[in-house]
Amino acid sequence: MMCYGFLHSHTGGSDSRIRTPRLGKLLLVAIVLWAGATPDHAWCAAPVDVPVIKGDLGPCSADFVVTDSNNTPVYDAKVHVIVLYGFMNKRKSELEIGTNSDGKARIEGLPDKLKKPPLEFKIQGGDLRKSVTQDPATDCHASFNVQLGTP
């Protein structure tokens, strides 16, 4: 019996057009799974962005890393500062920012000249509090490692 290339024989032959799509689908699935496989380093946690607040009062900044008494980063510890500026310090700008999961926060745009230095940053994480000071005239880009729960 003639099959015109569709079937090799009527009794036990195979249809090459039926097997090819199955093989093609299997090959396609294998390629998609292989291409979708991620390398081991892709499962590592991406670095967390440091939250930043801008005061737009000058060129200075302050970086904070807030930890507890066990050196564990404190998430959402509040860093608060009041900046007095202008004629007779009549203008006031209050800035507050929370730390990220690494305990980090950054305040930018602080003034480089104060009439009554220093700036006092109040850090609070839960019931724990601590204050640190910065004189922008001597340390314009300060970094603070604040450990809450220690005197």
Its CATH class, for the domain covering 52-147, is: mainly beta
Distance of CA 111 to the CA centre of its chain: 27
Could you tell me which residues come within 8 angstroms of residue 80 by beta carbon, excluding any fewer than 6 positions away?
Answer: 94, 95, 96, 121, 122, 123, 124
For residue range 64-94, what is the model confidence (pLDDT) as tens digits? Answer: 999 999 999 999 999 999 999 888 888 899 9
pLDDT value at position 137?
A: 92
- CA-to-CA distance for 62 and 74, rounded, in angstroms? 17
Q: What pTM value is reported for the model?
A: 0.69
Residue range 13-23: mean pLDDT, rounded: 55
Q: Where are the domains of the chain?
A: 1-43, 52-147
pLDDT, position 119: 95
- Say yes or no to pLDDT of 21 above 80: no
The predicted-structure confidence for 99-132, as pLDDT tens digits, reads as follows 999 999 999 999 999 988 899 999 999 899 999 9
pLDDT in the model for residue 86? 85
pLDDT confidence of residue 85: 86
User: What pLDDT shows up at residue 7?
Assistant: 45
The average confidence (pLDDT) of the chain is 82
Residue 9 has pLDDT above 60, yes or no: no
